[in-house]
A and B are shown apart, each in its own frame.
Chain A
Amino acid sequence: MSVSRVGTLLFPAIAATKDQAPCLAEVGQALSGKARYLYELAAGNSAVAGEDPVVPANPQGLTGVDLSGPPWGSAILRPAAWFGGVANNANLQAPSSNVLEANTVKFTSVPIWLFIRPHAKLPDGYEAPESHLLLLLRAYASSGTPTLAVRLCSGIPWGAPGTIVSDEDSLTLSTTESNFTTICKTSLNPAGGLQQVTLQAKVSSGTAYVTAACLCVATKRGT
């Protein structure tokens, strides 16, 4: 790689940039190099025509911050995968709007395949926003106010098949279709690509109907 203009991610010590500090070449190298680094992360291309970028490729294999979560930029809150959506409306002639019918016997499962945008794997202790999608639901019960247990399972190839990797949540339903924000999160492979998660639900009595489900990017920088 030929580079005519310095590009570094050095951080000079505080003392090196204070008034009266001796003017060291390394300060110039750090400040000049960081300017190029910044430019390429922001602009998405090499700062100097005809030269390769000095910044490493982002998770997409391209140059620059792509807002896929730290350190490649703050993630954008958004729906990442969805199930259903035809309104549960008696005045609409449509096939069943239910995406899942939960019973009391065992967990009912529906797999969801989704294309995950590649993103950085964060250090231990942090959850990458695009790896930990939050489950939103619309649901109702056939009668009474039963409890709906919902959870997400990882799929192939990231986790062992059937491995429960999410938090399980309990929702109190009614016969009126309502919105629910669960605490269930997925665990996805940061390498991206087509991946699978499984939505599971079981109800305490009667039948529960999930009419819409959405996995969302719910944090900007992870937690």
Chain B
Amino acid sequence: MARKKNSTFVGSPMADVDVDSLIYKRWIEAAVGDTALVQDKLTGLNGETNTIVHTGAAGRGCVLGIPLVNQALHKKFTFTGSGKAIGDTRVLCTAFFVPLGETQISIDIVAFSETPCKISVYDTSYTLIDSVDANMASTTVLSVTPGALHIFEVRVNTDDLFLNLYATETTIFSVCIHFGRVGGSQPAILPASSPLNGQSPQTSADAVFKIDFDSQLFASQMPVSGRTATLLNRQQNSLLEFLTGWPSGNAAYAQIDSGTSDPATSRFHAATRAGTDLAAEGELQFPLLCAFLGSAMTDGTFAVNAAQPPTSGLLEFYAPWVLTTAALPQNAFVQRIKMPDFQTASSRLKAVAIGTKGPSWDAAKPWQATFSCGGAGVTSTFTDVGGGSNLVIATASAIAFTGDANANCVVALTRAAGARAIEEFALLGVAFYFAP
């Protein structure tokens, strides 16, 4: 059998299918081939490699626009006490992954402050990509590199220290980093009652009503078949509901997942790779969680004096470190979140952590981060970012997780045994993301 499928969309001219037009077999051949193309792009069946992965590239699906950061802080950024030398300060710093298809980010900092600052994004070698001079309470836009890890920082200018950050109160309430698209239409693209002539999948495990039409059906002299039309109609309705997630109103075709938690079968386009015929479904680059944990100075020293506990400096928002007397490892970050229902057999969950490399950093005994998300952790060693940044970064991949479940995202810190000094390392930010 030679399966009918168009390699690119063909469609039919208006005149071919207008009222009172002659009946052409070519319209149904084109429709069958186009529908097969859509089915394969959504499922990855029949060796289709240009699956729908939502990168924004032609034929690969609309970008998702998932925000990178939506974090409430409610922290005062005021230097207090004496004993901590002031200087350029990274009041906010983290690393995050920007999905393919996105070329700029919007930064909204909700703050009580007019403190001037420099907001910048760098690559992981600390080469500047873009920066802007702004006020702490601001909305700004920066260019980014699609499909790459970035280092993000908000730095306070030394010249403004006494005039603003250190002399008056600065409070940051929330930080939102996103892609800035709002205000599109809110149309109902589907009728409240779903399509007529719906058709349940062939078996309970099928995601879509999958039909393969033989090219011979459309050979010269072959008749236009009512059966072809009826099966094509069912296939299109099935794909429409699979794609849009809009199953209501059609009792004969109420697609539901196989369970309310961690379903083995997803009947909808959701990159789950769960269920029959979806093993090759496209997977998504997907930001999950990104957090700012504290501040540090740009020279690598901490934002507070080197004491446990500290008594001066940015006491409300300094980057945390493990007590020099504590056993290792120790949890430094814990956030409870909902995990996506992505496939877990070959986990695409990755993580990154960034820290300040203090003056006591021991290159022979570098700090390590263990990233976990409800399952076994993955440990990675912090390495020097370079570029005069005084930053270190650790990345991990294939982190185990359970789909469609609540989980604690945890970052634990450890280091080789031996005496430890205070200003070795402090954790500035972490991020978890999916990247196949």
Contact = CB atoms under 8 A, between A and B. Distances in A.
A43 B60 contact: yes
Given A11-B237, A28-B28, A194 B176 contact: yes
B214 interface: no
Interface string A110-133: 111111011011010010000000
Contact of B189 (A17, A71, A193): A71
Contacts of B364: none
Interface in A46-85: 47-48, 55-85
A118 B230 contact: no
Contacts of A21: 226, 229
Between A26, A79, A88, the greatest number of chain B beta carbons within 10 A of the residue's beta carbon is seen for A79
A170 B28 CA distance: 59
A61 B186 contact: no
Interface in A16-36: 16-21, 23, 25-36
Contacts of A79: 288-289, 335, 337-338
B253 to A, nearest CB: 12
Contacts of A138: 334, 336, 408
Interface string B247-266: 11000000001000000001
Interface stretch (A142-150, A156-164, A213-221): A213-221
Contacts of A4: 11, 13-14
Contact of B17 (A28, A63, A134, A213): A28
B108 A29 contact: no
Interface stretch (B69-77, B121-129, B350-358): B69-77
A179 B409 CA distance: 12
Contacts of B38: 35, 38-39, 42-43
A94 B294 contact: yes
B330 interface: yes
Nearest to B226: A19
Given A5-B12, A29-B17, A91 B341 contact: no
Interface string B27-49: 11011001101100110000000
B345 interface: no
B62 interface: yes
Nearest to A88: B334
A86 B16 CA distance: 64
Given A70-B246, A79-B289, A14 B333 contact: no
Between B30, B108, B284, B334, the greatest number of chain A beta carbons within 10 A of the residue's beta carbon is seen for B334
B159 interface: no
A121 B186 contact: yes
A7 B16 CA distance: 13
Interface string B56-73: 101111111111001110
B293 interface: yes
A121 B188 CA distance: 9
Given A31-B229, A94-B294, A118-B184, A38 B70 contact: no
Contacts of A38: 34-35, 38, 236, 239-240, 243
B7 to A, nearest CB: 13
Contacts of B229: 12, 16-17, 21, 23, 27, 31
B322 A66 contact: no
B339 interface: yes
Interface string A177-210: 0010100000000111110000000000000000
A31 B236 contact: yes
A81 B71 contact: yes
Given A94-B320, A95-B316, A212-B336, A191 B183 contact: yes
Interface stretch (B81-89, B307-315, B384-392): B307-315
A85 B293 contact: yes
A57 to B, nearest CB: 5
Interface in B195-240: 195-197, 224-227, 229-230, 232-233, 236-237, 239-240
B173 A48 contact: no
B183 A118 contact: yes
A134 B60 CA distance: 31
B2 interface: no
B435 to A, nearest CB: 15
A41 interface: yes
A1 interface: no
A105 interface: no
B86 to A, nearest CB: 18
Contacts of A218: 338
Nearest to B325: A91
Contacts of A94: 294, 318, 320-321, 332
A102 to B, nearest CB: 15
B213 to A, nearest CB: 12
A12 B229 CA distance: 10
Interface of A: 3-7, 9, 11-14, 16-21, 23, 25-39, 41-45, 47-48, 55-89, 91-95, 99, 110-115, 117-118, 120-121, 123, 126, 134, 136-138, 179, 181, 190-194, 211-214, 216-218, 220-221
Given A64-B62, A138-B408, 19 more contacts: A3-B14, A11-B195, A31-B28, A31-B236, A32-B31, A35-B11, A35-B236, A38-B35, A43-B58, A44-B52, A63-B62, A71-B189, A71-B246, A74-B268, A80-B70, A92-B331, A179-B408, A212-B334, A212-B335
